Amino acid sequence: GEQVEQLPSILRVQEGSSASINCSYEDSASNYFPWYKQEPGENPKLIIDIRSNMERKQIQELIVLLDKKAKRFSLHITDTQPGDSAMYFCAARNSGGSNYKLTFGKGTLLTVTP
Amino acid sequence: ETAVFQTPNYHVTQVGNEVSFNCKQTLGHDTMYWYKQDSKKLLKIMFSYNNKQLIVNETVPRRFSPQSSDKAHLNLRIKSVEPEDSAVYLCASSFQGAKQYFGPGTRLTVL
């Protein structure tokens, strides 16, 4: 089955700087890549996603890049704020047949310091 | 806006007991999931139902069993809980696997 590696596991940045999280996947048939943010005591919330027919997507300060050849995708948070501090998860979906399973990375704990 | 509902929020029980968790979604999605999130925050899928049919059944102990009455409901039963079952159980729903929305979770503590 699909495997998703996510790095780094811990990331600490200063307010106003950028934060980058990288993920790689194994199954070239994966075609959908969401990112989730989970704050302490809360459930994971979808913040941005990208499909395999795109290379870049931006929503406000969030930028996702996808390199299908290298089987890598990344999340970049520009101008980080303390409110961006949370656990972030990447995921990949292989929609072969009726398998609608998301495989998650192990998460990145982002801390934005003032 | 909450559209995936889970009950209970918390459950504390003793080893060997049976527990059931409920999940309902009001998004009109065709697929529902159960995930287990452990103390290290690892998210592992357990089961997935599409239109009331089991489509994903990861390697989980046989004491775990999903129950789906219709597309909007997916319950989880754990027969004879073990200490390692202590975790947060997250229900999610989606349309064909995209944009999964999670419920608030059920935190299970097994004493």
- What is the secondary structure of B54-96 as a DSSP string? EEEE-S--TTEEEEEEETTEEEEEESS--GGG-EEEEEEEEET
pLDDT at A101: 79
CA B28 to chain centre: 18
Give the Cβ contact number of residue A10 at 10 Å.
10
pLDDT at A8: 98
Closest CB to B97 among A45, A101, A107: A101
Report the range of poorest mean pLDDT among A4-8, A17-21, A27-31, B32-36: A27-31
What number is the average pLDDT over the span B1-13? 91
Report the residue of chain A nearest B90, measured CA to CA: A43
pLDDT at A66: 97
B45/A34 CB distance under 8 A = no
What number is the average pLDDT over the span B76-91? 96
Is the per-residue pLDDT at A92 higher than 60? yes
Half-sphere exposure of A21 toward its Cβ, with a 13 Å CA cutoff? 30
pLDDT at A43: 95
A106 in reach of chain B (CB within 8 A):
yes
Average pLDDT, chain A: 93
Report the residue of chain A nearest B49, measured CA to CA: A100
pLDDT digits (tens, 9 = 90+) for A60-90: 999 999 999 999 999 999 999 999 999 999 9
Scanning A44-103 for CB atoms below 8 A from B yields 44-46, 49, 87, 89, 93, 95, 98-103
pLDDT category, A2, cuts 50, 70, 90?
Answer: confident
Closest CB to B55 among A46, A98, A107: A98
Taking CB atoms within 8 Å and a gap of at least 24, the contacts of A18-21 are A18/A76, A18/A77, A18/A78, A18/A79, A18/A80, A19/A76, A19/A77, A19/A80, A19/A84, A19/A110, A19/A112, A20/A74, A20/A75, A20/A76, A20/A77, A21/A74, A21/A75, A21/A76, A21/A88, A21/A90, A21/A108, A21/A110
Closest CB to A101 among B48, B90, B101: B48
Percentage of residues in chain B having pLDDT higher than 70: 98
Average pLDDT, chain B: 92
B45/A45 CB distance under 8 A = no
Report the range of poorest mean pLDDT among A85-94, A101-110, B46-55: B46-55
What number is the average pLDDT over the span B59-82? 92
pLDDT at A99: 62
pLDDT at A98: 55
